Amino acid sequence: MNHQMLTGKIRSREDLPTGDFRREYPRFQPDTFPINLQLVDRIQDLAAKRGCTAAQLAIGWTLALQRRPNMPTIIPIPGATTAERVKENAMVVELSDEEMVGIDEVLARFEVRGERYPPYVPVNT
């Protein structure tokens, strides 16, 4: 659910410039964005307690999922647009089983609203 939501820089739809493609995304609509932001806030709280960024926590969570029974090897591939973000995202945050339970509890209380991408509309050529 990112598209920069986990960074904390986008706190409302008004933070998205006019013409920004995210304004068309279902998760950024007026009826879904505030609900999804509540989940972001909880993840940011957990990250702050852990002393890492929300993105680092999310990457650590993704890695930790493979410890669960019947899970395959998971290799997260975070996106980044600057060398600084690549270095930040390369910091491995190893989460304990207790931290994973805490994240599971947060995720169980929130349902992400809206599809990840807008519906595909074929263009007649």
Q: Residue 85 corresponds to which tokens in the numbers above?
A: 């973000």
Q: Are 88 and 53 in contact (CB under 8 A)?
A: yes
- Is residue 125 one of the residues assigned to a domain? no
- Average pLDDT across each block of 10 residues of the chain; the chain has 125 residues. List them in order: 76 91 92 93 94 94 95 90 90 94 93 90 72
- Is residue 124 one of the residues assigned to a domain? no
Q: What's the domain range around 73?
A: 5-109
- Which pTM was predicted? 0.82
Domain count along the chain: 1
Distances (CA, A) of 73 to 99, 107, 125: 20, 22, 42
